[in-house]
């Protein structure tokens, strides 16, 4: 529609519908007319993608040192194998404890043996070489009638055991005041107990000797090395010789010594050789046992 102006009718203003405007159309005057009081902001134009500012570049971190690399590597390896290392350490500790216990036991055993061993016994002496058997006339076992009619056997004067290299004179031994058997005053000879039968007569003849001393082995040191069947020769004052055959070698504790079996009566001529043996007791100053050789007159 039109209206009349001073000079006549004015042309009609035809408005373009908003629906027909392009999407990117924008007119500040039009926006001010439609919305009075609106603050106009200049539109920004997006720049093409190719002209965007380059991103900010951060400086590269410095390369790690060899110490840092080794430390990190060891830490990772330890974390992975820590359980294995713990098991290994526990086993090593157990083995070390066991070894210490065994070492302590060994030291204790050595100390006990050293305490009980004779102070003079440094090493075992060499066994003597065998010696020839004596050649004196031999006394044969007598029959029951001959024993009853025979005079008393001659006094023994010497002893020979060829298998262990012994030949010694015999001295006389009696009893101590407490009833025990006397021992020779020296370790180099043996002695015959005068309170028993003479060697070759019916009964158990007793000959005793020392095993050792502070200076070395005694006359009966190797007595324990005799075996069944070995020969023992006893010379007598009349020039004859009684020959005995070993039947056994026994060791008895002194506090349980079988007196009747060693000194008791027997129906045949027998011989007993006695010395000390076993463990040496420093407190007592003597051995705790006796070694006894049993022998019978050879036929």
> What's the CA gap between 159 and 190, in Å, rounded?
8
Kindly report the backbone phi and psi dihedral angles of residue 271, in degrees, each rounded to the nearest multiple of 5, phi listed first. -135, 145
pLDDT in tens, 216-234: 999 999 999 999 999 999 9
Note the pLDDT of residue 29: 61
Q: Quick check: 171 and 193 in contact, CB under 8 A?
A: no
Contacts of 139 (CB under 8 A, 6+ apart): 153, 200, 236, 240, 241, 242, 243, 297
Note the pLDDT of residue 157: 97
Whether the model clears a pTM of 0.95, i.e. scores above it, the answer is no
Low pLDDT (below 70) residues in the chain: 1-60, 79-86, 89, 111-122, 140-151
Domain ranges in the chain?
138-297
Q: Which CATH superfamily is domain 138-297 in?
A: Sortase (2.40.260.10)
């Amino acid at each position: 529609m039109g209206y009349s102006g001073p000079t006549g009718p004015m042309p009609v203003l035809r408005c373009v519908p908003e629906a027909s405007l392009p999407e990117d159309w924008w007119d500040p005057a039009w926006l001010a007319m439609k919305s009075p009081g609106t603050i106009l902001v200049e539109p920004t134009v997006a720049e093409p993608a190719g002209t965007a500012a380059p991103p900010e570049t951060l400086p590269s971190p410095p390369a790690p040192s060899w110490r840092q690399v080794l430390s990190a590597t060891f830490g990772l390896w330890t974390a992975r194998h820590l359980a294995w290392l713990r098991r290994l350490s526990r086993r090593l500790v157990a083995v070390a404890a066991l070894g210490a216990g065994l070492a302590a036991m060994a030291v204790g055993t050595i100390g006990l043996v050293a305490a009980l061993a004779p102070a003079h016994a440094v090493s075992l002496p060499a066994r003597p070489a065998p010696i020839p058997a004596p050649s004196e006339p031999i006394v044969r076992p007598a029959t029951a009638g001959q024993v009853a009619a025979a005079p008393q056997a001659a006094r023994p004067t010497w002893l020979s055991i060829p298998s262990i290299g012994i030949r010694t004179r015999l001295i006389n031994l009696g009893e101590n005041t407490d009833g025990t058997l006397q021992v020779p005053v020296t370790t180099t000879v043996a002695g015959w107990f005068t309170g028993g039968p003479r060697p070759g007569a019916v009964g158990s003849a007793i000959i005793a000797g020392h095993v050792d001393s502070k200076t070395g082995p005694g006359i009966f040191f190797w007595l324990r090395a005799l075996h069944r069947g070995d020969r023992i020769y006893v010379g007598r004052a009349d020039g004859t010789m009684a020959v005995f055959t070993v039947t056994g070698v026994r060791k008895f504790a002194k506090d349980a010594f079988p007196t009747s079996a060693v000194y008791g009566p027997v129906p045949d001529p027998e011989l007993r050789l006695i010395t000390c043996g076993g463990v040496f007791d420093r407190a007592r100053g003597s051995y705790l046992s006796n070694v006894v050789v049993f022998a019978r007159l050879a036929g």
